[in-house]
Every structure is written in structure tokens, then in C-alpha cells.
Amino acid sequence: MVFHALNRANARTQIFYKPEDYAAFEAVLAEARERTGMRVLSYCLMPNHWHLVLWPQQDGDLSRFMGWLTLTHTQRWHSHYQTAGTGHVYQGRFKSFPIQTDEHFLTVCRYVERNALRASLCTLAEEWPWSSLYHRLRKDEFATQVLSEWPVPRPRLWLSHLQQPQSEAELAALRRSVARGAPFGDSQWIERVAKQLDLETTLRPRGRPRQPEKKGS
């Protein structure tokens, strides 16, 4: 099953300050993939957070991959900035949600690969150097050694598609899955996967259930 995973900097600070910081994370990402055999489908690194679209091969691979990735990157980040013992780099454990491998998968990858464009960090999505899109278009060493083929075909006009904003409904649905860890797909798939992965609580409304009114009140 494919998953979207992300993590953010602690206390809304930055993780990446200079190009070397981004490159260092990509190096850890490559090592994590080599150690676990994780299939990395898409990613985008932003100044204070990052998004990954991952395709584990076995149960437990996602947690092993993400645990090693974040711990190793944290240790190296503190070593580089000589800040060991000063606090956390990340706000907490990573967030993730499963994705149906159809047009919903393409929606998530579009969201991830146009993240820098949406944040006005570039004028074209493919210009942002710290993303799967950038490496894949160049067919460079990182792309061939780290990135895996998608489970569904990439649309022929993918680049022009990335330039177009996503609808508010799409963004709202994605952000809901990010916030709650809820499966992202069609209704029948969501229901089946939520039961399979014990994620049914992610589909329920938040807050205390409304109490029935008493007679005469």
C-alpha cells in the first residue's frame, strides 16, 4: 500500500537554511532507501517541512524507514550545527496516511510535487531543486538510484498539470487526511482500508458526541 508521509520542524522553525542542508537530507534519504528497500515515489523538501510518497514492500517497513530517516537526519543536523542537547529538530513523530493507487495517487503526487510552487518558492514546479520532479526530469544519478517507478502511469502532460492550481475541495480533502491520518481514496476503498489498518477512528468527527436534549429544556 502506498503512503504519504511528512514531518515538520519543531516550534515552526526551519530545518533547511542553505542548499547544503537540503543535500544532506537527500543523502540520508538515499541511505534510508538503501537500508530498507523502500520505494520512494515522490518527495518535496520545503524550508520547514517535507513530504514523501512511499511504497513499502512489507508490513512494518514504513515505520522502520521513517524512524531511521528522522533519527539519522536529526543526529547529523545537530552535529553540523553543534546544537546537540538543545531540543528537537522535528515537532514529533511523522504523520502518514494510505493512498488508493488510482487518480487519488496522482492527486497526492501533484500536491507534493507542486508544493514549492504553491508556496511561491519558484515560478515553475520543475525549477525547485529539492524534489523528485527535478531529479526525474534530469534522469540524474539520484533519480536512477533512489526513485522508483509509480504504480500508475504518469499523465503525458504532467508538467502542465502541475502548473495548474488544485481545487479547494482537493486541498481540503488532502489536508484532512494529513491532519487525521485518514485514508485517501474513494468511499468504498476508504472504508475497507480503515478497517484493515485499524484507522476507523480517523473517519469519525472530532469532539464529544452531541448529547440528546432533555424534555422540557
pLDDT at 159 over 80: yes
> What is the mean predicted confidence (pLDDT) over 70-87?
88
> What is the mean predicted confidence (pLDDT) over 66-78?
95
* CA gap 85, 18 in Å, rounded: 22
Q: What pTM did the predictor assign? A: 0.92
pLDDT at 214 over 70: no
> What is the mean predicted confidence (pLDDT) over 133-139?
97
Torsions phi, psi for 91 (to 5 deg): -70, -15
What CATH number should be reported for the domain whose range is 2-165? 3.30.70.1290
> What is the mean predicted confidence (pLDDT) over 118-127?
96
DSSP H helical ranges for 8-60 = 19-36
- What pLDDT is recorded for position 27? 97
pLDDT at 135 over 70: yes
Lowest-confidence segment of 113-117, 145-149, 175-179, 202-206 by average pLDDT: 202-206
> What is the mean predicted confidence (pLDDT) over 57-84?
93
pLDDT at 171 over 90: yes
Inter-CA distances, 96 with 20, 40, 41, 181, Å: 27, 14, 15, 6
Residue of 84 and 25 predicted with greater confidence: 25
- What pLDDT is recorded for position 208? 55
- Can you list the positions of beta strands (E) in 100-166? none
Inter-CA distances, 139 with 23, 204, 213, Å: 17, 43, 63
The pLDDT confidence band at residue 80, using thresholds 50, 70 and 90, is very high
